[in-house]
Amino acid sequence: MNLLLKLIVFIVPTIFLLLFFMILTNEDTYPGADYDQFQIPEFELKVLDNTMTVNNDLLNGDYVLNVWASWCITCIIEHPYLTSLSKNGIPVIGLNYKDEQEDAIIWLKKYGNPYQTILHDYKGNLALDLGVTGAPETFLISDGRVVAHYQGEVNDQIWNDVFLPIIKDRKMF
Amino acid sequence: MIIEISHFLSVLATGLFLLVGYFSILTPSSNSSYISNLIVRTYSHGFFFLLSSFLIYVWLAITDNFSVQYIANHSNTALPIFYKISSIWSAHEGSMFLWIVFLSLWGFLFNIRVKNNEVLKPKTMGVISFILVGFLIFLLATSNPFETILPIPPLNGADINPVLQDPALAIHPPTLYLGYVGFVIPFASAIAFLLYGDSKINWEALVKTWSVSAWVFLTVGITLGSWWAYYELGWGGYWFWDPVENVALMPWLAATAFIHSLGVSIKSSQLRIWTILLSILVFSLSLFGAFIVRSGIIDSVHAFANDPDRGLYLLGFIGLIVFTSVFLFILRLSSIQSLSRIKKFSKQSFISINNILFGALIFSVMLGVTYPLIYEFLFDQKISVGAPFYNAIFIPIVALAAIFLFFSVDSKWSRSINFKFISPPISFSILLSLAFTIFVMQYFESHSISILASIFAGSLIIFRYIYEIVNFIFTKKFINPFSVIAHMSLGLLLISISFNSLLSTERALSINLNTTESYKDLKISFKDIGVENNANYDSIKATFLVEDQTGRTFNLKPEKRRYFTRGQITTETAIHITFLRDIYITIGDQLDDGSWIVNIQINYLIRWIWLSALLMGLAGVILVFSNSVKT
């Protein structure tokens, strides 16, 4: 009787712990791979040099959306990394956030332009819909859905930890 | 700077708790008065450092210090102070912090309330301290709430999740956490008892009040959660067998069995093995709850951010705690077995049956929570275990437990009595309950066996205790008020749940502005709909004028809100509450023809379900206070 009780109190937790260990270390069944995705809200914004208007339909496919502004100090620090991403063939779209048009253009002349297109969100409407709290912030967008969002400076480590697993998982770019 | 001070105080507290653990468990002379004084004082210092750290953190949240990444991500300048504070426990890092502070608070209260010459005190404090160290390292290493955004913090903060901007939710997690971590006291004393290995020590008496207090918090915490899901999430019911509801239910069931078993062990030193195992089980299940919610292993409204490292750390730490306990238990098993056998039909015998039935319930819930995970792991297919599974198990077992409870009212401690089935109290209750059940069957035309069985079992308990109360008034026969209130609440709970599932109905209507639809006895007129602008959200607000069969009218104004900062849409239900039923309206989408989809529910006795749960908690409060008056 005692032996049976001893066996039970030992075996039952062992089974559960082993089971959870296997689930946690198995990447396929670990549901952490489901990201909090949402559709990009509808918008219509002019590009920074006022040459055209862009809406949801014109921006499709996979791209990185980077929120920046000329008043943002961290954006300067982040800038070289975005340039290297762009050189490696990753489409980076800029969302110029609550910024004066001239200031932004001067800034780009000074530091260089890594962006394919830049949307000028002077009032911050699209940024508000996206849940932007400041600059810089970076979104990973796949077929019109936000699949990752990072607040703060993107660098090599953040790119590898936050974005790259999702890019691989979804076979993007 | 102030962020670093707060951070540093937490680190300091970790160091002090480590010292307490070391001195109380790993040094041989931990019961010398010098060492035990040292333990008591060092623990208190550790607690005050940790508390100060937390209070500074609260201050950082109130003053919108968005240099702290966690606060920047979960609070907002536009929030009222109340929600700035509650935003701390709206996500993983902050709520873990609060959880640990509460754990240390229980330890602190035990530290100051229990006399230093209590032989188990030093080792109990030591166990609590080691657990605190384990969780503080988890907090600081894998989910640090003090991480900063430098050099430039954001201006506004990302805002708290709108469904969490609600008074019930601001108090639901803290109450529940107080319940979960409160069981560290019986657990730590049980471990201290096993470490000592002296079966003459009565550790059970030491922890009775503490265990019941923790049980009260757990009961109220779960009830608040159920209530919040009903009106804020728009779930429209009281229990959904959501995995996280289940991981709160398991410690509650284990704790309820534990408290019963504890009573026996205090009274007659019997069922000690059960009591020790249950004390380990309650705390392990509380930790298991933290693991399930925080490892991201399941998807649920409650689940926090996903991070496998956190899951592995928690699993490892829980494993360490469980195996240490199991090892000690196996080591001491032979010395704690009580020699006296339990007599047939004594109170003890009924409580052992109760332990077995509750054990079966816990095992079933555990199976329901883990089976989908196992299945997906093995066969790579998602399955879900839902209400039908739980109903099929809970209804018969709970009804059986209720019937045993009914007969146990007559039983005596340590004595077997001859049951007379035609004795007045038993026949009185059985006849009245049968009559009531038959009335329900005829009047409501119900033939569902599970509903009728629950109604019968519930009314058996209520009538039996009514008889006891009447007996008490006329003959002054002793009754235990705690037991009477707690068990009558259980009866009320069973009956309320049965009527709720028997009578409640719901329907989705499409309704045009300025028209009237009828549903059951209600006439619903759609009077108005419009957009309202508020500080941090826009809302579509509808007005319905509802008339019931008695001709009474009232307005219901359900809303749909869209929050600015996250763009999240929430449904605000409108509820008209009467004595017996709730009329519950939510508004859906507008159809192409201009009409709106409206969901109407009539929920019978749903308030009574929460009321019975709260009454159960009240019974616990009475027990705690009557005990502290005696000591």
Query: Which chain A residues have a beta carbon less than 8 Å from that of B295?
Result: 24
Residue of B307, B308, B567 lying closest to A129 (CB–CB): B567
Q: How many Cβ atoms sit within 10 Å of the Cβ of residue B92?
A: 23
Q: What distance in Å separates the CA atoms of residue B189 and residue B488, rounded to the nearest whole number?
A: 31
> Which of A36-45, B198-207, B399-408 shows the lowest mean pLDDT across its residues?
A36-45
Q: Is the pLDDT of residue B630 over 60?
A: no
On whether both A105 and A21 belong to a single domain, the answer is no
**Smallest Cα distance from A128 to chain B, Å:** 6
Q: What distance in Å separates the CA atoms of residue B381 and residue B371, rounded to the nearest whole number?
A: 12
On whether both A100 and A41 belong to a single domain, the answer is yes
CATH of the domain at A99: 3.40.30.10
Residue with tokens 């409640």: B504
Q: Is the pLDDT of residue B338 over 80?
A: no
Q: What distance in Å separates the CA atoms of residue B260 and residue B416, rounded to the nearest whole number?
A: 19
Closest-CA residue of chain A to B321: A13
C-alpha pair distances (Å), A76 with each of A82, B148, B151, B156: 10, 19, 12, 21
Q: Is B157 on the interface with A (CB under 8 A)?
A: yes
Specify the pLDDT at position A37.
64
User: What is chain B's mean pLDDT, rounded?
Assistant: 88
Sequence-separated contacts (24+) of B376-380 with Cβ below 8 Å: B376/A29, B377/A19, B377/A22, B377/A23, B377/A26, B377/A29, B380/A28, B380/A29
ipTM of the complex, rounded to two decimals: 0.81
End-to-end CA distance of chain A: 63
pLDDT digits (tens, 9 = 90+) for A39-58: 777 788 888 887 787 777 77
Query: Which chain B residues have a beta carbon less than 8 Å from that of A22?
Result: 377
- Total number of domains constituting chain A: 2
Sign (positive or negative) of CA dihedral B518, B236, B531, A46: negative
Q: Is the pLDDT of residue B305 over 60?
A: no
Run of H or E residues at B58: helix B33-62
Token pair for B582: 């709730």
Q: What distance in Å separates the CA atoms of residue B195 and residue B208, rounded to the nearest whole number?
A: 20
pLDDT digits (tens, 9 = 90+) for B561-617: 877 766 667 788 899 999 999 998 988 888 888 888 888 999 999 999 999 999 999
B167-182 and B243-268 helices cross at what angle (nearest 10)?
Answer: 40
Residue of B156, B319, B567 lying closest to A41 (CB–CB): B567
Q: What distance in Å separates the CA atoms of residue A166 and residue A12, rounded to the nearest whole number?
A: 36
Give, as one character, the DSSP assignment of residue B343: P
pLDDT digits (tens, 9 = 90+) for B421-434: 678 888 889 999 99
On whether both A87 and A154 belong to a single domain, the answer is yes
Specify the pLDDT at position B631.
46
Specify the pLDDT at position B421.
64
> Which of B168-172, B329-333, B611-615 shows the lowest mean pLDDT across its residues?
B168-172
**Smallest Cα distance from B123 to chain A, Å:** 23
Mean pLDDT, range B129-143, rounded to an integer? 95
- Higher-pLDDT residue of A165 and A68 is A68
Contacts of B451 (CB under 8 A, 6+ apart): B498, B501, B502
Q: What distance in Å separates the CA atoms of residue B264 and residue B150, rounded to the nearest whole number?
A: 58
**Smallest Cα distance from B447 to chain A, Å:** 40
Are B127 and B188 spatial neighbours (Cβ–Cβ below 8 Å)?
yes
Q: How many Cβ atoms sit within 10 Å of the Cβ of residue B562?
A: 16
Closest-CA residue of chain B to A77: B151
Q: Is the pLDDT of residue A61 over 60?
A: yes
In DSSP terms, which residues pair with A96 in a beta bridge? A68, A120
On whether both A44 and A60 belong to a single domain, the answer is yes
Q: How many Cβ atoms sit within 10 Å of the Cβ of residue B228?
A: 20
Q: What distance in Å separates the CA atoms of residue B286 and residue A127, rounded to the nearest whole number?
A: 41
State percent of chain B over pLDDT 70.
Answer: 93
On whether both A23 and A106 belong to a single domain, the answer is no
pTM score: 0.82
Residues A151, B318: C-beta atoms closer than 8 Å: no
Sign (positive or negative) of CA dihedral B245, B249, B251, B255: positive
Sequence-separated contacts (24+) of B330-337 with Cβ below 8 Å: B330/A6, B330/A9, B330/A10, B331/B194, B331/B197, B332/B194, B332/B197, B333/A2, B333/A5, B333/A6, B333/B273, B334/A2, B335/B197, B335/B199, B336/B199, B336/B272, B336/B273, B336/B276, B337/A2, B337/B272, B337/B273
Specify the pLDDT at position B510.
87
**In terms of residue numbers, what domain contains A24?**
1-34
Mean pLDDT, range A142-147, rounded to an integer? 81
* Model confidence band, residue B532 (pLDDT cutoffs 50, 70, 90): confident
Q: What is the DSSP string of B375-412?
A: HHHHHS------HHHHHHHHHHHHHHHHHHHHHHTT-B
Residues B296, A73: C-beta atoms closer than 8 Å: no
Strands A145-151 and A137-142: antiparallel
On whether both A69 and A134 belong to a single domain, the answer is yes
On whether both A63 and A30 belong to a single domain, the answer is no
On whether both A58 and A103 belong to a single domain, the answer is yes
Residues B565, A73: C-beta atoms closer than 8 Å: no
Specify the pLDDT at position A35.
46
Closest-CA residue of chain B to A42: B567
Residues A22, B377: C-beta atoms closer than 8 Å: yes
Run of H or E residues at B344: none
Specify the pLDDT at position B413.
83
On whether both A116 and A133 belong to a single domain, the answer is yes
Residues A24, B307: C-beta atoms closer than 8 Å: no
Q: Is B129 on the interface with A (CB under 8 A)?
A: no
Residues B149, A152: C-beta atoms closer than 8 Å: yes
> Which of A30-39, B157-166, B257-266 shows the lowest mean pLDDT across its residues?
A30-39
Specify the pLDDT at position B149.
79
Residue with tokens 């275990």: B385
Query: Which chain B residues have a beta carbon less than 8 Å from that of A17?
Result: 315, 318-319, 322
pLDDT digits (tens, 9 = 90+) for B236-283: 788 988 888 899 999 999 999 999 999 999 988 888 999 999 999 999
Residues B330, A23: C-beta atoms closer than 8 Å: no
On whether both A22 and A40 belong to a single domain, the answer is no
C-alpha pair distances (Å), B517 with each of B163, B217, B508, B526, B598: 30, 44, 11, 8, 11
Specify the pLDDT at position B135.
96
Query: Which chain A residues have a beta carbon less than 8 Å from that of B318?
Result: 17
- Return phi, psi of residue B532, to 5°: -120, 140
Query: Which chain A residues have a beta carbon less than 8 Å from that of B284?
Result: 13
Residue A78 sits at the vertex; the CA angle it makes with A44 and A171, to the nearest 5 degrees, is: 65
Q: What distance in Å separates the CA atoms of residue B578 and residue B553, rounded to the nearest whole number?
A: 12
C-alpha pair distances (Å), A142 with each of A11, A19, A42, A155: 46, 34, 15, 20
Q: Is B72 on the interface with A (CB under 8 A)?
A: yes
Q: Is A61 on the interface with B (CB under 8 A)?
A: no
On whether both A107 and A119 belong to a single domain, the answer is yes
pLDDT digits (tens, 9 = 90+) for B28-64: 766 678 888 899 999 999 999 999 999 999 999 999 9
Which of B147, B326, B355, B363 has the highest number of chain A CBs within 10 A, making it the mutation to test binding with A? B326
**Smallest Cα distance from A71 to chain B, Å:** 11
Q: Is the pLDDT of residue A97 over 50?
A: yes
Specify the pLDDT at position B138.
94
List B residues 335-364 in contact with A (Cβ-Cβ < 8 A): 337
Which of A12, A21, A24 has the highest number of chain B CBs within 10 A, making it the mutation to test binding with B? A24
Specify the pLDDT at position B604.
93
Residues B565, A131: C-beta atoms closer than 8 Å: yes
Residue of B311, B333, B566 lying closest to A24 (CB–CB): B311
Residue B625 sits at the vertex; the CA angle it makes with B620 and B631, to the nearest 5 degrees, is: 125
Give, as one character, the DSSP assignment of residue B341: P
Token pair for A121: 């969100």
Q: Is A145 on the interface with B (CB under 8 A)?
A: no
Q: How many Cβ atoms sit within 10 Å of the Cβ of residue B630?
A: 7
Residues B319, A24: C-beta atoms closer than 8 Å: no
State percent of chain B over pLDDT 90.
Answer: 54
Q: Is A41 on the interface with B (CB under 8 A)?
A: yes
On whether both A78 and A22 belong to a single domain, the answer is no
Q: Is B58 on the interface with A (CB under 8 A)?
A: no
**Smallest Cα distance from B488 to chain A, Å:** 34
Q: Is A9 on the interface with B (CB under 8 A)?
A: yes
CA-closest candidate to residue B494, choices B401, B583, B580, B621: B401
Specify the pLDDT at position B424.
83
**Smallest Cα distance from B40 to chain A, Å:** 33
